[in-house]
Structure 1
Amino acid sequence: MKKQDLLKVLGTNIKKHRVRLNWSQAVLAEKIDISITFLSSIERGAKWLSPVTVIKLAEAFHIDSYELFKPENIFPDACQDVLGQYAEDIHFAVDSIRGKYLKQLGRR
């Protein structure tokens, strides 16, 4: 993952948690003692933040700090499209395998 990709992941996650808590940028900026302009730059993936600010964010969101750096989608968009297209077939296959496995367990 490139630096710019990591900045985007970080910004997206910060915004996601801020919105989850129904906080404006002004509210979050005040809670972690940074300017709204700087927070906006972080959420856009344009600025890095200090380790202290990462810790403040994690504490404000009540999450572990590493969660701010986790990509939401571990599959590329093309894979997401394929998985979505075949979701019903995948569920059917998993249920079939599970059923056969449970049947075998019952025979023993």
Structure 2
Amino acid sequence: MMIVTVMERRGEIGLRRALGATPGNIRMQFVTEAALLSTLGGFAGIALGDGAAIGVAASADQPIALDWTSLPLAWAAAILVGILAGLYPASRAARLTPTEALRGE
């Protein structure tokens, strides 16, 4: 999905590069975006999963059996996977020259 985002934002990348953004700035922008999206997605997944587990346990008159200590690890894993998935598109965006990026518009 991040590759599609990079391709859709070629004009923005080209303009930022033309105005002086370094490849590192571009790379950091997309890695940060991937980290933020995975942070929010991981939180939403944990919240929905916990809510579903609590709801099922309550409706079945069973005790809630969640390992609360592993939830931060699950969230950290989601963030790590998001960052790793964002590295390739970010480096691809950083390699675009301003003329390449603006020509693609």
The answer, yes or no, to whether TM exceeds 0.5 is no
Structure (1 or 2) with the larger CA radius of gyration = 1
> Greater helix percent: which structure?
2
